[in-house]
Amino acid sequence: MDIQFKGEHLLPGQIGQFFIVLSFGAALLSCISYYFATTEDAGKTDSFWQKLGRISYFVNAVAIIGIGTCLFYLIYKHFFEYHYAWAYTSRSLPIYYILSAFWNGQEGGFLLWLFWQAVLGIVLIFRSKSWERPVMTIIALSQVMLASMVLGVEIFGQRIGSSPFLLLRQSMEAPIFSNPDYLSFIKDGQGMVPSLQNYWMIIHPPTLFLGFAAMVVPFAYAVAGLWQKKYKEWISQAIPYALFACMILGTGVVMGSFWAYESLNFGGFWAWDPVENASIFPWIVLVAGLHVMIVFKNSGHSYFTATFLVLLSNVLTWYSSFLNRSGILGETSVHSFTDLGMFWQLITGIMLFLVLSVVLLVRRYKELPITKKDEETYSREFWMFVGSVFLGLSCFHMLVVTSVPVWNEMFKTKMAPPSNIKEHYNVIQASFAFVIAVLTGIAQFLKYKKTDVTRFFITTGSYLLMAAALTALFAYLSGLYKLNFVFVLLMWGSLYAVIANGKVLIDAIKGKFKLAGSAVAHIGFGLLLLGAVISAGTQSVISVNNTGEAYSAEFAKEENPRENITVYRNQPIKMGDYMVTYLGDSISSPNHFFKINYKRVDAAGKVTEEFTLKPKVQVSKGSLAASPDTRHYLFSDIYTHITLTNAITPVEAGSESAEAAHDADNDDKNYDAPIAHEVKAGDTIKYRDGYIVLKALNKETKVQNIPLTDSDVAIGADLEIVSNGNKYSARPVYMIKNGNVFDFARKVDDAGLKLRFSKVIPEHKTVEIVVFQQPESKKKFVVMKAIQFPYINLFWGGSIIMVIGFFMSILRRKKELKVV
Amino acid sequence: MKKSSIFGLVVIAIAIAVIISVYANSSTYGSFNDATKTTSELHIVGHLNKAKELYFDATKDANYFSFYMKDNKGEERKVVFTGTKPEDFERSEQLVLTGTMVGNEFHASAILMKCPSKYQQGELKTTELKAKSASI
């Protein structure tokens, strides 16, 4: 029997679902129409099929905007009957995060990808002229594949895709859904995971997906070229699009890296996590492909490699999507991704593009313009080719390691990734990067076809020597020489790349401006490598814990890196060159900021530098997520990250184990055994963290709204507490009322003290002050980790310069291009 | 021989070298029992024994964390990790440890934990909801 559910808003979901089906159907029609426009109407200027293809592509784009609008509407309206709205948003989520909740789920990611691909397709309809029909066939095909990922329709008992318009009650089984009024129990959504509530969440995914979507354009041109036997022509058409794809995807990846560095606790800018690696496979391969395309354009060599790499780049885009979304990385990645049950569908996506590429290459192989002539050894084309192959090898290595779970699945093995995986990647990838960096310089000094050998050797040799001298200096200063020799080599290579391309840039400004784009991009690449090798190689944990408490004899024997330090509130501790103090907290839900003060003190005891960092911990539904804060200098960064704290109260953390902390009887339990001191005015009491001075005893007239009569006595003790250089004051009170003795203790929470004025001893003319001090474990503390990243700005600066270089190259290639 | 053929051979050689180095470097997934027999680092998949003590006291040593894990063969060992207790450790569903056996303890150099809800929230907390709907 069907249940009539109350309060559900089914209409927006149904409209959305209609748009999904419409976008799928329109894309399919567009693909078929363009196919017939290419084959049946070849040579005709006025093609019915082309018109149909265009119209259906526009319908597809409109439908995608419709899907987006519906999805946004139900997120914005907090319709928690939809799984998507329930899982990623809540009523308290600010509007800009509601916008980014759109791509929080995997379906949203696909929608973003669809949207960008629709936009790129429309650009191509207007700009690609005679290439429109074959190229758009492929773009529309890709659009069909993507749309099927969000279809959410069952065909022959097999669910195709996962729709963002799935209802909550359809997405999971729970007894509550047998209640027609279930919605009244679901007051709020799960909300966005705190660590995603960050401005990078708004900008990073759209950029990344634009990059992924752009990968299909050069691929479509390559397929069109092979299909239409326009073997040579497609290459110069595709170069600007390939540059665009590399620029955007590169920007997206670096944004992710910056996000991880700035506000996630990955402890660096690149963690070699499988998900990160997967996102740069297509980038590396297309960058390699781009170079070989330019080689072919200028010399007629390396046709097959260029085509192969461009085709491969898009296949890898789908492969990386498969790795990230199929859940196969489960045991090797820190990013936990749920399997939406689309394992085989994602594989179909890869196979579609792979089979298409292979079939075309095999069928057209004999006709391909492959030169029989050998390249000149001293020619730019040869060394650009070599460099691109090394880029490919670097990607190959990353692919082999990252795909270990895939090999296990395929061959039923039980291989695990290398146990010291970062070191493994660093050493091997640094070797490849060294070769590539050196070649970026060498190839620039050579000319296409033939070069004057003697002059080449003299210039290259002198620049290599110059770079070597600088490397010796830098490696010594930064301490890099202590590490694996490969890193010194990489430093040499990247310095050489910067210097050599700097020379090319100067020449370019003087006259040959055409080369400026590549020179700038290569300088950026060199700086990026330099920054990466120095900061990753010589980053140092400054929060070294020297307490060295041993737990077992065996444990103490090992030299374990003790990278976390415990800092008690208001108790300065020395950490490296700094005195560090945990000053206090500030809370603005869901963020709990910790004020960590850093002071650099010189030998004379003078404070030469002082700053306060505010790393935060985000609290949500009883789980905590820490975000670091970083002090940026031009040449290094100090990164501070809270690993643990007891300062977050259970109430704030939403846990049910909140104790009745202020129960007076139990309060003394929070302190060490009290110590009584017999003192008179002016005396000093010493305690663990400092001392207390009894300034004076004063007669009180009124104690907390208790009226005093003439026979009553109330005395206040003026106490001054000095703890770790901070002064506090407190005034406990002693009172005799109606013959009974009372005393009013005073707490100094910042110093972890409770003070009682418990007795007056007339015979000695003294009083008794009882000092309760909190044991170390009850005092508020944070456990933190601080890392110094030297020269990290070279990495970010290099990335930006590289993107600028790509942009300059796009402008140049666009000018050169004649679209027919 | 053509230069490109020589280069092709070099590339193939490097590719093979890469595969061999990855294979040689790769460790294996195993159990605690396997770990006692070897000195090299192993990956062990298992789950936390939530009934036993998780020892971590930041006031004594913020870099010492110990707990008990059952591997997939059901064998349980004490695990020592030089570092802070990871956030939400109690909520982990699955743990992947990297490390070696030292005496009777497994010393982990890395812990990878699978939490159900770090980035994706896919589970409905049915327990609290059940109680409310039961009366209807």
A785 interaction partners in chain B (CB closer than 8 Å): 84
Are B120 and A87 in contact (CB < 8 Å)? yes
Q: CA B134 to CA A498: how far, in whole Å?
A: 70
Are A566 and B115 in contact (CB < 8 Å)? no
A565 interaction partners in chain B (CB closer than 8 Å): 62
Preferred mutation among B38, B121, B135 to probe A, highest tally of A CBs within 10 A: B121
Ranges A589-593, A664-668, B17-21: which has the least confidence: A664-668
Identify whether residues A166 and A48 lie together within a single domain.
yes
CB A566 within 8 A of CB A820: no
B23 interaction partners in chain A (CB closer than 8 Å): 415
Average pLDDT, chain A: 85
Identify whether residues A46 and A139 lie together within a single domain.
yes
Hey, which bits of A547-577 come out as E strands? 565-568, 573-575
**Where does the pLDDT of residue A777 fall: very low under 50, low under 70, confident under 90, or very high at 90 and above?**
low
pLDDT in tens, A470-512: 999 988 888 888 888 899 999 999 999 999 999 989 988 887 7
Q: CA A97 to CA A353: how far, in whole Å?
A: 35
B61 assigned to some structural domain: yes
Q: A778 at the B interface (CB within 8 A)?
A: no
pLDDT at A609 over 80: yes
pLDDT, average across residues A196-213? 90
B51 assigned to some structural domain: yes
Calculate the CA dihedral of residues A723, A724, A726, A730 and round it to 10 degrees.
Answer: -10
pLDDT at A664 over 50: no
What lies within 8 Å, CB to CB, of A51 at 6+ separation is: none
CB A116 within 8 A of CB A194: no
pLDDT at A579 over 80: yes
pLDDT, average across residues A627-649? 82
Say what the pLDDT of residue A564 is.
Answer: 78
Higher pLDDT, A666 or A663: A666
Q: CA B56 to CA A817: how far, in whole Å?
A: 65
CB A108 within 8 A of CB A201: no
B60 assigned to some structural domain: yes
pLDDT, average across residues A116-141? 95
**Where does the pLDDT of residue A814 fall: very low under 50, low under 70, confident under 90, or very high at 90 and above?**
confident
Are A554 and B105 in contact (CB < 8 Å)? yes
Are B120 and A105 in contact (CB < 8 Å)? yes
A211 assigned to some structural domain: yes
**Can you tell me which residue has the tokens 């066939």?**
A137
Q: CA B18 to CA A398: how far, in whole Å?
A: 10
Say what the pLDDT of residue A695 is.
Answer: 85
Q: Three-state DSSP class for A153?
A: strand
Identify whether residues A492 and A518 lie together within a single domain.
yes
B33 assigned to some structural domain: yes
Are A783 and B62 in contact (CB < 8 Å)? yes
Say what the pLDDT of residue A585 is.
Answer: 84
Q: Are strands A781-790 and A766-773 parallel, antiparallel or unpaired?
A: unpaired
Identify whether residues A236 and A132 lie together within a single domain.
no
B25 interaction partners in chain A (CB closer than 8 Å): 418, 424
pLDDT at B135 over 60: no
Say what the pLDDT of residue A657 is.
Answer: 34
pLDDT in tens, A323-349: 988 878 876 776 655 667 788 899 999
Domain encompassing residue A757:
671-773
B85 interaction partners in chain A (CB closer than 8 Å): 644
A183 assigned to some structural domain: yes
Say what the pLDDT of residue A265 is.
Answer: 66
Task: Identify the DSSP state of A82.
Answer: B
A815 assigned to some structural domain: no
Q: A188 at the B interface (CB within 8 A)?
A: no
Identify whether residues A292 and A313 lie together within a single domain.
yes
Other beta carbons within 10 Å of B128: 10
Helix, strand, coil in percent for chain B, rounding step 5: 30, 40, 35
B2 assigned to some structural domain: no
Q: A646 at the B interface (CB within 8 A)?
A: yes
Q: CA A111 to CA A65: how far, in whole Å?
A: 9
A13 assigned to some structural domain: yes
pLDDT at A725 over 80: no
Q: CA A686 to CA A732: how far, in whole Å?
A: 17
Say what the pLDDT of residue A469 is.
Answer: 95
Q: How far is B64 from chain A (nearest CA, A)?
A: 8
Say which of B2, B26, B123 has its CB closest to residue A418. Answer: B26
Identify whether residues A132 and A164 lie together within a single domain.
yes
**Where does the pLDDT of residue B128 fall: very low under 50, low under 70, confident under 90, or very high at 90 and above?**
very low
Say what the pLDDT of residue B18 is.
Answer: 87
Identify whether residues A366 and A224 lie together within a single domain.
yes
CATH number at residue A693: 2.60.98
Q: CA B56 to CA B64: how far, in whole Å?
A: 6
Q: What percent of chain A has pLDDT over 70?
A: 92
Nearest to A382 by CA among B134, B7, B56, B80: B7
**Where does the pLDDT of residue A527 fall: very low under 50, low under 70, confident under 90, or very high at 90 and above?**
very high
Q: CA A632 to CA A791: how far, in whole Å?
A: 10
A424 interaction partners in chain B (CB closer than 8 Å): 22, 25
Identify whether residues A283 and A320 lie together within a single domain.
yes
Preferred mutation among B59, B85, B91, B113 to probe A, highest tally of A CBs within 10 A: B59
Task: Identify the DSSP state of A620.
Answer: E
Q: CA A513 to CA A504: how far, in whole Å?
A: 10
Say what the pLDDT of residue A477 is.
Answer: 84
Higher pLDDT, A768 or A662: A768
B11 assigned to some structural domain: no
Are A404 and B26 in contact (CB < 8 Å)? yes
A611 assigned to some structural domain: no
**Phi-psi label, residue A82: left if phi above 0, alpha if psi -120 to 50, beta otherwise:** beta
Nearest to A772 by CA among A679, A671, A694, A670: A671
Q: CA A80 to CA A68: how far, in whole Å?
A: 17
A326 assigned to some structural domain: yes
Partner B, chain A 393-432, Cβ-Cβ below 8 Å: 393, 396-397, 400-401, 404, 414-420, 424, 428
Phi, psi (rounded to 5 degrees) for A740: -105, 145
Single-letter amino acid code for the residue at A336: S
pLDDT, average across residues A29-38? 96
Are A623 and B98 in contact (CB < 8 Å)? no
pLDDT at B108 over 90: no
B76 assigned to some structural domain: yes
Burial category of A666 from C-beta neighbours within 10 Å (exposed 0-12, middle 13-18, buried 19 and up): exposed
Residues A28-52 as b/e (b if ≥16 CB within 10 A, e otherwise) read bbbbbbbbbbbeebeeeeebebbeb
Higher pLDDT, A802 or A815: A802
A337 interaction partners in chain B (CB closer than 8 Å): 119-120
**Where does the pLDDT of residue A243 fall: very low under 50, low under 70, confident under 90, or very high at 90 and above?**
very high
A566 interaction partners in chain B (CB closer than 8 Å): 58-59, 62
Identify whether residues A374 and A435 lie together within a single domain.
no
B38 interaction partners in chain A (CB closer than 8 Å): none
pLDDT, average across residues A114-124? 97
**Where does the pLDDT of residue A116 fall: very low under 50, low under 70, confident under 90, or very high at 90 and above?**
very high
A119-128, A330-339, A752-761: range with highest mean pLDDT: A119-128
B17 interaction partners in chain A (CB closer than 8 Å): none
pLDDT, average across residues A84-95? 86
Partner B, chain A 194-213, Cβ-Cβ below 8 Å: 195-196
Other beta carbons within 10 Å of A450: 12
Identify whether residues A764 and A713 lie together within a single domain.
yes
Tokens standing for B101?
């056996």
For B14, nearest residue in chain A (alpha carbons): A393
**Where does the pLDDT of residue A558 fall: very low under 50, low under 70, confident under 90, or very high at 90 and above?**
very low
B47 assigned to some structural domain: yes
Tokens standing for A22?
């419409």
Are A396 and B61 in contact (CB < 8 Å)? no
pLDDT at A561 over 90: no
Q: A374 at the B interface (CB within 8 A)?
A: yes
**Can you tell me which residue has the tokens 């579609």?**
A352
A547 assigned to some structural domain: no
pLDDT at B117 over 70: no
Q: A382 at the B interface (CB within 8 A)?
A: yes
Task: Identify the DSSP state of A375.
Answer: P
Q: CA A286 to CA A293: how far, in whole Å?
A: 10
pLDDT, average across residues A397-402? 93
A374 interaction partners in chain B (CB closer than 8 Å): 2-4
Are A332 and B136 in contact (CB < 8 Å)? no
Say what the pLDDT of residue B122 is.
Answer: 39
Say what the pLDDT of residue A667 is.
Answer: 67
Identify whether residues A204 and A142 lie together within a single domain.
no
As for how many domains chain A has, the answer is 4
For A106, nearest residue in chain B (alpha carbons): B120
pLDDT at A178 over 90: no
Say what the pLDDT of residue A69 is.
Answer: 95
Peptide bond before A590: cis, by omega within 30 degrees of 0?
Answer: yes
Say which of A336, A547, A644 has its CB closest to residue B115. Answer: A336
pLDDT at A75 over 80: yes
Say what the pLDDT of residue A223 is.
Answer: 97
pTM of the predicted protein model: 0.84
For A393, nearest residue in chain B (alpha carbons): B15
CATH number at residue B66: 2.40.50.140
Say which of B59, B96, B102 has its CB closest to residue A776. Answer: B59
Query: Radius of gyration (Cα) for chain A, nearest Å?
Result: 34
Say what the pLDDT of residue B121 is.
Answer: 40
Are A428 and B41 in contact (CB < 8 Å)? no
Strand order of the sheet with strand A746-748? A675-679, A766-773, A753-761, A746-748
**Phi-psi label, residue A188: left if phi above 0, alpha if psi -120 to 50, beta otherwise:** beta
Say what the pLDDT of residue A275 is.
Answer: 84
Partner B, chain A 97-156, Cβ-Cβ below 8 Å: 105
pLDDT at A707 over 80: no
Are A174 and B126 in contact (CB < 8 Å)? yes
Ranges A673-682, A699-708, A731-740: which has the least confidence: A699-708
What ipTM was predicted for this assembly?
A: 0.76
For A88, nearest residue in chain B (alpha carbons): B121
Average pLDDT, chain B: 75
For A195, nearest residue in chain B (alpha carbons): B119
pLDDT at A513 over 60: yes
Partner B, chain A 563-592, Cβ-Cβ below 8 Å: 563-566
pLDDT in tens, A349-370: 999 999 999 999 999 999 998 8
Q: CA A398 to CA A481: how far, in whole Å?
A: 26
CA distances from A231 to A214, A221, A289, A741, A769 (A): 21, 10, 15, 103, 95
Q: How far is B81 from chain A (nearest CA, A)?
A: 10
pLDDT, average across residues A143-170? 88
Domain encompassing residue B93:
29-117
Ranges A292-306, A332-346, A797-811: which has the least confidence: A332-346
As for how many domains chain B has, the answer is 1
pLDDT at A622 over 70: no
pLDDT at A26 over 70: yes
Q: How far is B48 from chain A (nearest CA, A)?
A: 15
Are B58 and A644 in contact (CB < 8 Å)? yes
Are B27 and A175 in contact (CB < 8 Å)? no
Are A551 and B61 in contact (CB < 8 Å)? yes
Contacts A–B by Cβ distance under 8 A = 175
Partner B, chain A 528-557, Cβ-Cβ below 8 Å: 545, 547, 549, 551-552, 554-555
Higher pLDDT, A585 or A264: A585
Are B132 and A185 in contact (CB < 8 Å)? yes
Are A555 and B64 in contact (CB < 8 Å)? yes
Q: How far is A512 from chain B (nearest CA, A)?
A: 31
A228 assigned to some structural domain: yes
